[in-house]
Structure 1
Amino acid sequence: MAGIYIHIPFCKQACHYCDFHFSTSFKKKGELVEALKSELRLRKDEFSNTLVETIYFGGGTPSVLTIAELQSIIDEVYANYDVAENPEITLEANPDDLVGALSGAEVPSKNSFNAYRTIGINRLSIGIQSFFEADLKLMNRAHNAEEAKRCLEEARAYFDNISIDLIYGIPGASNEQWIQNIETALSFDIPHISSYALTVEPQTALENFIKKGIIDNVDDEKAEQQFHILIDTLEASDFVHYELSNFGKEGYFSKNNSAYWQGKPYIGIGPSAHSFNGAQRSWNVRNNSKYIKAIAENELPSEVETLTVTDRYNEYIMTGLRTIWGVSLDKIETDFGKNYRSYLLEQAKGYIDDEFLYLHNDKLQVSKKGKFLSDGIASQLFKLNL
Structure 2
Amino acid sequence: MVTTSVPTREELRRAPKVLLHDHLDGGLRPRTVVELAESTGYDGLPTTDVDELGRWFLEAADSGSLEKYLETFAHTCGVMQTEEALARVAAEAVEDLADDGVVYAELRYAPELFVARGLSLDGVIRAVQDGITDGERRAAARGQRIQARQLLCAMRQHARALEIAELAVRYRDAGVAGFDIAGPEAGYPPTRNLDAFEYMRGNNGHFTIHAGEAFGLASIWEAIQHCGAERLGHGVRIVDDVKTSADGEVQLGRLASYVRDRRIPLEICPSSNVQTGAAASIAEHPIGLLAKLRFRVTVNTDNRLMSGCSLSSEFAALVDAFGYGWADIQWFTINAMKSAFLDFDQRLDVINNVIKPGYAELV
TM-score by length of 2: 0.44
Structure number with higher strand proportion? 1
| More contact order relative to length (CA 8 Å, sep ≥ 6) | 2
Structure number with higher helix proportion? 2
